[in-house]
A and B are shown apart, each in its own frame.
Chain A
Amino acid sequence: MTYQPQTDFGTPASRSEDQVTLTIDGRETTVPAGTSVMRAASEQGTAIPKLCATDSLASFGSCRLCLVEIEGRRGTPASCTTPVEPGMVVHTQTPHLAKLRKGVMELYISDHPLDCLTCAANGDCELQDQAGNVGLRDVRYAADATHLGQTKDHSNPYFDFDPSKCIACSRCVRACDEVQGTLALTVQGRGFDSKISAGLSSDNFLGSECVSCGACVQACPTATLVEKSVVEIGTPECAVVTTCAYCGVGCTFRAEMRGEQLVRMVPWKDGKANRGHSCVKGRFAWGYAQHQDRILKPMIRAAASDPWREVEWEEAFAYAASELKRISAKYGKQALGGITSSRCTNEETFLVQKLIRAGFGNNNVDTCARVCHSPTGYGLKTTFGTSAGTQDFDSVEDSDVILVIGANPTDGHPVFASRMKRRLRAGAKLIVIDPRRTDLVRSPHIEAQHHLALRPGTNVAVLTAMAHTIVTEGLVDEAFVRERCDWSEFKDWADFVSLERNSPETLEPVTQVPAADLRAAARLYATGGNGAIYYGLGVTEHSQGSSTVMAIANLAMATGNIGHRGVGVNPLRGQNNVQGACDMGSFPHELPGYRHISDVATRREFEEEWGVALDPEPGLRIPNMLDAATDGVFKALYVQGEDILQSDPNTQHVAAGLAAMECVIVHDLFLNETANYAHIFLPGSTFLEKNGTFTNAERRIQMVRKVMSPLNGLEDWEVTQELARALGLDWNYTHPSEIMDEVARLTPSFSGVSFDKLDEEGSLQWPVNEAAPNGSPIMHIDGFVRGKGKFVVTDYVPTDEKTGPRFPLLLTTGRILSHYNVGAQTRRTNNVVWHEEDLLEIHPTDAENRGIKSGDWVKLASRAGETTLRATVTERVAPGVVYTTFHHPMTQANVVTTDYSDWATNCPEYKVTAVQISSSNGPTDWQEGYDQHARNARRIETAEAAE
């Protein structure tokens, strides 16, 4: 495929349903009303010269290059700012226009360095293209006063800023405003003195509020803002569309390549999840794929205390199979299990759960959704009948009230957050329910109408108090409830929430949310128009995570905010393929498609396809596997693409469980923390090195396309297949498309999915079946999947994790924009310049009481354990609450989290841990001991030299 830049129509598409017919250069064309003349011309194949226009931004009309003549009109209007009209006759190329354009271009070029041959954008520069398009051959002006020779800003690790090449088109500033919504860039000065600035004139890009989303770089028509990778490698020669491997937004990118070398990742404008936008991780933080820490050869060892020994694939598979067989024979088949990865493809995940069910002979399969969104699966299946969110991302454009609870989308889901912020700037109202004052609460041109800064652990109380307000103040959408929900269950629920003990006033001492604020927020959600709820792990990672999800569903049903655009219940999924991993049968009680393993008919379908009898009993969940391991009855674990030692709670318990096993197989890119306890290491492949699909938070299935050969020699699905074959399973897949075909045969909600169909449509949102052959952007339109919507009484039950004299503060954990999950990928990129270490946020009052200042080392202690890290004193957290991230293994935030968990799913209660903070002189005994253990565990035996 030859490199072609993405088509740029100059101005955004109009959403009008009215059509307008006009004539451009003698050709009649019909476009939606509101379309610009520039776009109408472009759509019919006529490219009007332009510089300040690009179709991701509102038209601006400053460069004066896109002038046209319109019959019956005086002058030469800018085509980017002129909307089409019926019967309009437009001429885009006349001698007069050519002269004007050439004159304009001559002025631009007179103040531009003529270094095209050595410029990084040579061949990919709009200024260069337009100079050629208008036929500029000479520049008559003397270079007396120019902007040449200005100092370049190299501060950002991923892109350079060269003001000498700037044409002051403002595309970068507008991209930062309109697309990203950070408003970090500005035009300083006027007229000739105009110059682009990141923040104050004293700031450089790195020191400014720029979040490095790359929108400005993408919008820049010259080499003023250009990727460092392009400077170093050169311009790309081909491009392949694929899907990002960070977060549940599921942005699609063009991987722009030279041979098998990745030059840059550019957000794909036709991507339906990201609509051409990106964040710092997906856009730039892909360097981990070639990082020197990657392990490319399989390794084995008899004991975790031994050094690793590199072996060939055949030996690794044979050794793994022999160990698994030995352990199964000695301890029984229930002693084996595995963990699928939310970072791997649907096809890889499907194979791992198939290996465990059909090969290991049990259902001891679980996935990292256990520790994030398993309560979403339980809660939404119970209330609506489907374990997934209800909307597509586009839906937010029609929301009038946006309620964000337990989510920090500007950090965790930044590309969707930008779309949400755009809607908020356009007038939608915002309610934030979060213990922390997240960036969304107050950011440029956005301020939450209500920030309910609840005490951690009281989500259910807050939501029940909101329900109390809605029911007792007569704000229920009774017509919706009567038609769509079980009326009897609704009545029981309404009676319950109406009890005085559930009023905002009664619960205020528990929630610490002022009752008047809570009532006002409830009224706004119920009466403010289309109300949409977005939530994250601040909802699910609690002892009542599932109850909170159901309480959210109750609110949506009671107010009729389900079944159309602008509304809905929207879980913001953490990892790229959490939704897909769950869909593919990664839970120990469910086969693909969320069908219980005890269902005879479902099981029979799989047994016939796979040719084996399946165990009808649910298997072990991750925490239960670890308990069983410490009890001495669970002995072997295959972990694909997960680092449970760092990500799961109560690290010391996880370590004890892993240490008690006789065969831990880690299949990963790096020697992660879990691998410190492993006996077999199978090197993994990155998303750039394999084919398959990911499913994002809006149930959108998207293609992952291989752009380079796996550095380890095998794609991950091939590794699992070879392991299965070594165990005696007759698997013969030749391509992941065949795995998806099997998924489609066995899973009703995927029955219409195939790689061919995905190539044709770009993406598909499940269910994709006979009733919805092109997918289902919005669910529950005419009725709930389960029939009648089910109201569930969600009584607030305080967590067992209590503060007291020894542990008086509440710790809650989260993530930061520049890092992803346990940081295994992002810590191996230049993203570390923004976040070198995990920090503890503490309120000034709590800090002062303990004599702690920003930058001090502090000890963070709980009943489970203790660690040290540095403090940052901030009012983002309320008094009594502290916060940290879990991106760095030396901090090991999960040393202090407990094994308390959600009542229904065992999802850990990461968000509530009673802790004490005190000054510290250095690492804890655990940290020092672990550091030594990790160093020993990562030793790799040097191969003996051949004679």
Chain B
Amino acid sequence: MSSTLDNLVRMANQIAMNLKHEADPVGAMAEHIRLFWDPRMKQIIFAHDGTGLSPDAAKAIDALKASA
């Protein structure tokens, strides 16, 4: 993985970990990425095969990708 992708995977996992107590953790994470990540960051994580992502992070990214 490139350094940027490494960073994005780590950030995604961090977000998932910190939002796990939300009523809808997957939705909250998807919304967080929608609000704060720029289009290129989203494209890179959307294109990623999911390696290294936690299950909640992967679900949130899939959900956001589907709605994009």
Q: Which of A584-610 contact B (CB under 8 A)?
A: 588-589, 596, 598
What is the bound-complex CA distance between A623 and B6, given in angstroms? 13
- Closest-CB distance, B9 to chain A (whole angstroms): 12
Q: Which of B11, B15, B35 contacts A589 (CB 8 A)?
A: B35
Q: Which of A617, A618, A627, A901 contacts B4 (CB 8 A)?
A: A627
Chain B 1-21, CB-CB to A under 8 Å as 1, else 0, gives 011100100110011011011
Stretch at the interface among A176-184, A345-353, A628-636, A839-847: A628-636
With both beta carbons as reference points, the residue of chain B lying nearest to A627 in the complex is identified as: B4
Contacts A496-B21, A903-B14, A903-B18; A627 near B36 (Cβ below 8 A): no
Q: Which of A627, A633, A903 contacts B7 (CB 8 A)?
A: A627
With both beta carbons as reference points, the residue of chain B lying nearest to A363 in the complex is identified as: B38
B59 close to chain A: CB less than 8 A: no
With both beta carbons as reference points, the residue of chain B lying nearest to A625 in the complex is identified as: B38
Beta-carbon contact of B39 and A617 below 8 Å: yes
- Closest-CB distance, A482 to chain B (whole angstroms): 20
What is the bound-complex CA distance between A132 and B37, given in angstroms? 70
Q: Which of A546, A547, A619 contacts B38 (CB 8 A)?
A: A619
Beta-carbon contact of A543 and B14 below 8 Å: yes
- Closest-CB distance, A242 to chain B (whole angstroms): 36
Beta-carbon contact of B3 and A627 below 8 Å: yes
What is the bound-complex CA distance between A596 and B10, given in angstroms? 25
Contacts A624-B41, A797-B17; A631 near B11 (Cβ below 8 A): no
Beta-carbon contact of B2 and A631 below 8 Å: yes
Chain A 359-375, CB-CB to B under 8 Å as 1, else 0, gives 00001100000000000
B32 close to chain A: CB less than 8 A: yes
Identify which of A547, A596, A618, A793 gathers the most chain B CB atoms within 10 Å of its CB: A618
Q: Which of B2, B3, B18 contacts A795 (CB 8 A)?
A: B18
Contacts A543-B14, A628-B4; A589 near B36 (Cβ below 8 A): yes
Q: Which of B20, B32, B38 contacts A588 (CB 8 A)?
A: B38
Contacts A627-B3, A627-B7, A628-B4; A620 near B18 (Cβ below 8 A): no
Beta-carbon contact of A628 and B40 below 8 Å: yes
* Interface SS, A side: loop
A252 close to chain B: CB less than 8 A: no
Chain A 104-144, CB-CB to B under 8 Å as 1, else 0, gives 00000000000000000000000000000000000000000
Contacts A633-B40, A795-B21; A598 near B4 (Cβ below 8 A): no
A751 close to chain B: CB less than 8 A: no
Beta-carbon contact of A793 and B38 below 8 Å: no
- In the complex, what residues of B have CB within 8 A of residue A760's CB? none
Beta-carbon contact of A598 and B35 below 8 Å: yes
Q: Which of B22-61 contact A (CB under 8 A)?
A: 32, 34-41
* Interface SS, B side: helix
What is the bound-complex CA distance between A793 and B17, given in angstroms? 12
- In the complex, what residues of B have CB within 8 A of residue A543's CB? 14
- Closest-CB distance, A356 to chain B (whole angstroms): 13
What is the bound-complex CA distance between A29 and B40, given in angstroms? 71
Beta-carbon contact of A797 and B38 below 8 Å: no
- In the complex, what residues of B have CB within 8 A of residue A781's CB? none
A899 close to chain B: CB less than 8 A: yes
Beta-carbon contact of A903 and B36 below 8 Å: no
Interface size class of B (residues with CB under 8 A): 20 to 34
With both beta carbons as reference points, the residue of chain A lying nearest to B16 in the complex is identified as: A903
Q: Which of B18, B20, B39 contacts A904 (CB 8 A)?
A: B18
- In the complex, what residues of B have CB within 8 A of residue A904's CB? 15, 18, 32, 36
Q: Which of A264-284 contact B (CB under 8 A)?
A: none
- Closest-CB distance, B8 to chain A (whole angstroms): 9
Beta-carbon contact of B35 and A596 below 8 Å: yes
Beta-carbon contact of A797 and B18 below 8 Å: yes
- Closest-CB distance, B19 to chain A (whole angstroms): 9
- In the complex, what residues of A have CB within 8 A of residue B7's CB? 623, 627, 899
- Closest-CB distance, A5 to chain B (whole angstroms): 52
Beta-carbon contact of B37 and A903 below 8 Å: no
What is the bound-complex CA distance between A944 and B27, given in angstroms? 65
A544 close to chain B: CB less than 8 A: yes
- In the complex, what residues of B have CB within 8 A of residue A546's CB? 18
What is the bound-complex CA distance between A363 and B7, given in angstroms? 21
Beta-carbon contact of A906 and B38 below 8 Å: no
- In the complex, what residues of B have CB within 8 A of residue A630's CB? 3-4
- Closest-CB distance, B61 to chain A (whole angstroms): 15
- In the complex, what residues of B have CB within 8 A of residue A627's CB? 3-4, 7
- In the complex, what residues of A have CB within 8 A of residue B32's CB? 904
- In the complex, what residues of B have CB within 8 A of residue A628's CB? 4, 40
A927 close to chain B: CB less than 8 A: no
What is the bound-complex CA distance between A546 and B17, given in angstroms? 13
With both beta carbons as reference points, the residue of chain B lying nearest to A597 in the complex is identified as: B35
What is the bound-complex CA distance between A598 and B3, given in angstroms? 28
What is the bound-complex CA distance between A617 and B7, given in angstroms? 20
What is the bound-complex CA distance between A492 and B34, given in angstroms? 26
- Closest-CB distance, B65 to chain A (whole angstroms): 15
- In the complex, what residues of A have CB within 8 A of residue B41's CB? 620, 624
A334 close to chain B: CB less than 8 A: yes
Beta-carbon contact of B38 and A631 below 8 Å: no
Q: Which of A363, A598, A620, A906 contacts B11 (CB 8 A)?
A: A906
Beta-carbon contact of A903 and B4 below 8 Å: no
Identify which of A546, A547, A619, A624 gathers the most chain B CB atoms within 10 Å of its CB: A624
- Closest-CB distance, B51 to chain A (whole angstroms): 17
- In the complex, what residues of B have CB within 8 A of residue A947's CB? none
- Closest-CB distance, A335 to chain B (whole angstroms): 10
What is the bound-complex CA distance between A623 and B35, given in angstroms? 17
A800 close to chain B: CB less than 8 A: yes
Q: Which of A535-593 contact B (CB under 8 A)?
A: 543-544, 546-547, 588-589
- In the complex, what residues of B have CB within 8 A of residue A905's CB? 36
What is the bound-complex CA distance between A906 and B4, given in angstroms? 13
What is the bound-complex CA distance between A556 and B6, given in angstroms? 37
- In the complex, what residues of A have CB within 8 A of residue B14's CB? 543, 797, 903
- Closest-CB distance, B53 to chain A (whole angstroms): 14
What is the bound-complex CA distance between A822 and B3, given in angstroms? 27
- In the complex, what residues of B have CB within 8 A of residue A588's CB? 38
Beta-carbon contact of B20 and A903 below 8 Å: no
Beta-carbon contact of A793 and B21 below 8 Å: yes
Contacts A589-B36, A618-B35, A618-B38; A795 near B4 (Cβ below 8 A): no
- In the complex, what residues of A have CB within 8 A of residue B15's CB? 903-904
- In the complex, what residues of A have CB within 8 A of residue B39's CB? 334, 617
- In the complex, what residues of A have CB within 8 A of residue B10's CB? 800
- Closest-CB distance, B68 to chain A (whole angstroms): 11
Beta-carbon contact of B18 and A624 below 8 Å: no
- In the complex, what residues of A have CB within 8 A of residue B4's CB? 627-628, 630-631
Beta-carbon contact of B35 and A903 below 8 Å: no
What is the bound-complex CA distance between A793 and B4, given in angstroms? 30
- In the complex, what residues of B have CB within 8 A of residue A589's CB? 35-36
Beta-carbon contact of B40 and A547 below 8 Å: no
- In the complex, what residues of B have CB within 8 A of residue A598's CB? 34-35
- In the complex, what residues of B have CB within 8 A of residue A496's CB? 21
Identify which of B2, B7, B15, B32 gathers the most chain A CB atoms within 10 Å of its CB: B7
With both beta carbons as reference points, the residue of chain A lying nearest to B2 in the complex is identified as: A631
- In the complex, what residues of B have CB within 8 A of residue A334's CB? 39-40
Q: Identify the A interface with B (CB < 8 A).
A: 334, 363-364, 492, 496, 543-544, 546-547, 588-589, 596, 598, 617-621, 623-624, 627-628, 630-631, 633, 793, 795, 797, 800, 899, 901, 903-906
19 A–B contacts from the bound complex (CB under 8 Å): A543-B14, A544-B18, A589-B36, A617-B38, A617-B39, A618-B36, A620-B40, A620-B41, A628-B4, A628-B40, A631-B2, A633-B40, A793-B21, A795-B18, A795-B21, A797-B14, A797-B17, A797-B18, A903-B15
Q: Identify the B interface with A (CB < 8 A).
A: 2-4, 7, 10-11, 14-15, 17-18, 20-21, 32, 34-41
List 9 tightest A-B contacts by C-beta distance, closest first: A793-B21, A903-B14, A627-B4, A903-B18, A620-B38, A617-B39, A797-B17, A619-B38, A903-B15
Knowing that A903-B14, A906-B11 touch, tell me 10 more A-B residue pairs with CB under 8 angstroms. A544-B18, A596-B35, A598-B34, A618-B35, A623-B7, A631-B2, A795-B21, A903-B18, A904-B15, A904-B36
